[in-house]
Each structure stands twice: as C-alpha cells, then as structure tokens.
Amino acid sequence: MSRIGYHTAASGVMAYQMALDITANNIANVNTNGFKASRPSFADLIYTERNNRNEETQFGHGVRIPKTDMMFEQSQVRETGRELDFAALDEGFFATLTPEGDITYTKDGSFYMTQHPDGYWELCNEYGAYVLDYDGNRITIPFKDEDSTDIDAAALAEMVGVYTFEDPYGLDQVGDNYFIETQSSGPAQANRDIRKLQNYVEASSTNIANEMSKVIEYQRAFQLNINMVKTHDELENIVNNLRN
C-alpha cells in the first residue's frame, strides 16, 4: 500500500507545528519595543505522475515552510516623554556597537547613559551596546554646559544615526532585538532623510487579533493533518490484517 498520503499529512503536521511556533513568538513579543513580527511562507513540495488506467495523474507530496517573512510595516509609536527614547520611522534602523565589537541594527530606540572610565557619558542600550551616529562613531552625551547635568536634547537628537538598507527583508535576526546585514540586505547606509522622533519609542508590530486568528487556523490545520496520519495508519493496518 502506498504511503504517499501518510508522508503528505506528516509534512503538514511538521509545517503547521513550525507555523504555530512562529506565531507564538510573535505573541510573546507583543510588548517588545521595535519588534517586527514574522509570518511563515508555505510552499508545496514536488509532484510525481502515476499511470492510472492509462491516464497520467499527478500526486503532490505535502507542504513545507522554506522561509519566514518579516513584517516591516510602520508600527505605532508611543510617547514616553523621555529624552533618551527615539523612534526611527519607516525602514530606518539605529546602529549599535556591541560589547563584543559587532555592529548590529535595531528598531528599539529605548536608550540609556553609561559612564566612560574617563568620566564622560555615552549613549547605549539596555544590553550595553553603544549607539552610533551617522558616521559610525559612539555618541558622547551633550550637556547644556560644562557644569550642568541637563542633557542638550536637541543636540543629542541630531547625533543619533539612522540607517537604511536596500532590502531590509534580507536582514538576519540574531536575538536581543538585533538585526545584522547580509549579502541579500546590502550594506547599511546612513540616511538623514528618515524621520526620527525623540521622546517616543516604536511599539511591537504584533497584531494580537490577527495572530489569534492564525493560531486557530494553524491549530485546526495541524489537527486535521494529525487525523489524516492516524487514518492512513489505520487503513494500512486493516490492509495488512486482510493479507494475513
């Protein structure tokens, strides 16, 4: 007895399990600043032809998820009233230099101050990565005067760099809200034309209503494929018993 149906349904089980995992990650990051939700991209597998009463009949072999697509649409921006918070609109990213010396890019503009051993203050994120300006240099916090502890907010806003990519969908996600450039994305380009808002942060792009509808859709498809696997297995057992 052919096991095409069994393996086809089994591929559906694995694909929809992965789709549920992707959706769960989106929901888990509903409150992560600058998070960009992903969606699974489904694709069918190869087809074979079988001669059925002198007619060629095509049989498919299931489904797979070859890639995930990031959703880079502009998310809501939320006012914080905090001078160290920034939102890069549209396809703009902030550049950071990690403690390991790697340059990464992020949509999360919730920044902090860290003191250099020489006494001056620099702009960093919650992971200790330094925020870079338009020339790729670390940013020293400007104050209104030498003896003041008041930040020169306007000067700081001018310094924070915003970068764009030829194809942001080609970026790789590496965790901690970081992206890294790839050959597909092209190199980062400093872009002063991209708007940035001070005292705001960009919210997560996760849409709870859409994600919950996807959970229901994927869960039902997952269960149907599970039932198909069970049904095919039961039919095979019946055939084997009849042979014996």
pLDDT tens string 138-169? 999 999 877 777 888 999 999 999 999 999 98
Question: Residue 72 in contact with residue 171, Cβ under 8 Å?
Answer: no
191 shares its domain with 212: no
pLDDT of residue 14: 94
Burial class (CB in 10 A: 0-12, 13-18, 19+), 109: buried
- Shared domain for 58 and 163, answered yes or no, is no
DSSP 170: G
Per residue in 64-96, pLDDT (tens digit) is 999 888 888 888 999 999 999 999 998 999 999
Q: Residue 31 and residue 28: Cα distance in Å, rounded?
A: 8
**How many domains, in total, are found in the chain?**
2
Do residues 18 and 231 touch, judged by C-beta distance below 8 A?
A: no
Is there a single domain that holds both residue 120 and residue 221? Answer: no
Higher-confidence position of 47 and 177: 177
How far apart, in whole angstroms, are the C-alpha atoms of residue 93 and residue 131? 11
102 with 177, same domain: the answer is: yes
- Judgement on whether residues 133 and 119 belong to the same structural domain of the protein: yes
Q: Are both 88 and 67 inside the same structural domain?
A: no
In this prediction, residue 121 has a pLDDT band, given cuts at 50, 70 and 90, of very high
The answer to whether residues 61 and 162 belong to one domain is no
Q: How far apart are CA 120 and CA 36, in angstroms?
A: 34
The model's pTM: 0.83
pLDDT score of 8: 87
Q: Cβ contacts of residue 200 below 8 Å, gap of 6+?
A: 77, 78, 79, 80, 85, 86, 87, 109
- Is 90 exceeded by the pLDDT of residue 1? no
- List CB contacts of 110: < 8 A, sequence separation 6 or more: 33, 80, 84, 85, 125, 126, 201
Structure tokens at 45: 């597998």
Q: Are residues 108 and 160 in the same domain?
A: yes
Domain of residue 45 covers 4-72+206-243
- Considering the domain architecture, whether residues 181 and 85 belong to the same structural domain is answered as yes
Same domain (yes/no): 179, 85: yes
Bridge-based pairing state of the strands 112-115 and 77-79? unpaired
Average pLDDT, the chain: 90
Answer yes or no: do 213 and 100 share one domain.
no
